[in-house]
Amino acid sequence: MADSHTESVTWLTQEAYDRLKQEYEYLSGRGRVEIAKKIEAAREEGDLRENGGYHAAKDEQGKMEARIFHLRQILDTAKVGEAPRTEGVVGPGMTVTVRFEGDDEEVTFLLASREESGAPIDVYSPKSPLGAAINGKKVGEKASYTMPNGRSNTVEILEAVPYNGGN
């Protein structure tokens, strides 16, 4: 079993890390200044109880602060590069092909952080129910997990190969 330190690491490509860092720097700098100006301008319009612009700006500020907090968490635990990978073993950074029990169709996806959503194939988070169930499993093994609707599902791992960037 992996130690808890590696479980909390978010592996990101350099491009994804740079994009998130740039967004964080904008929101925590100029973004905060701009929203403060909006709130101040709306406050000067008078009665705050009936001031839609003020309440909208405060709501926007709350969402922005939540995003800043989320980005800070990702950047604090991020490692740029690739998670250690072993062909045939499911893990972050692997292209995984599975077959759902009772279904002939095969599904292929990248097991990676949602922040890698620019990938040309579907991305499943290692923290999602399916991602957590198959992480560490080998080709040929089966894994069961509980879907968000409460029903249980089983998949068989058919392939696990390092992701090559869609090439």
The answer as to whether 106 is a domain residue is yes
Average confidence score pLDDT of the chain: 82
The answer as to whether 58 is a domain residue is yes
Structure letter (DSSP) for residue 30: I
Q: Are 100 and 119 in contact (CB under 8 A)?
A: no
Note down the domain range covering 122: 94-162
Amino acid, single-letter form, for residue 83: A
The answer as to whether 61 is a domain residue is yes
Burial (CB count <10 Å: 0-12, 13-18, 19+), residue 37 = exposed
Asked whether residue 6 carries a pLDDT value surpassing 60, the answer given is: no
The answer as to whether 88 is a domain residue is no
Q: Report helix, strand and coil shares of the chain as percent, to nearest 5.
A: 45, 25, 35
- How many angstroms separate the Cα of 94 from the Cα of each of 74, 85, 108, 128? 20, 7, 10, 15
Asked whether residue 3 carries a pLDDT value surpassing 70, the answer given is: no
The CA-to-CA distance between both ends of the chain, in Å, stands at: 32
- How many angstroms separate the Cα of 43 from the Cα of each of 33, 106, 157? 15, 56, 58
What does the pLDDT read at residue 5?
41
Count structural domains, the chain: 2
Could you tell me which residue, 167 or 8, shows the higher pLDDT?
A: 8
d(CA 11, CA 42): 41
Q: Are 96 and 90 in contact (CB under 8 A)?
A: yes
Asked whether residue 27 carries a pLDDT value surpassing 90, the answer given is: yes
Reported as a single tens digit per residue, the pLDDT across 47-58 is: 777 788 888 889
CATH at 109:
3.10.50.30
Token pair for residue 9? 């690491």
Reported as a single tens digit per residue, the pLDDT across 54-113 is: 888 899 999 999 999 988 888 888 877 766 566 678 888 788 899 988 888 888 888 887
The residues with which 79 forms a beta bridge, in sequence order, are 11
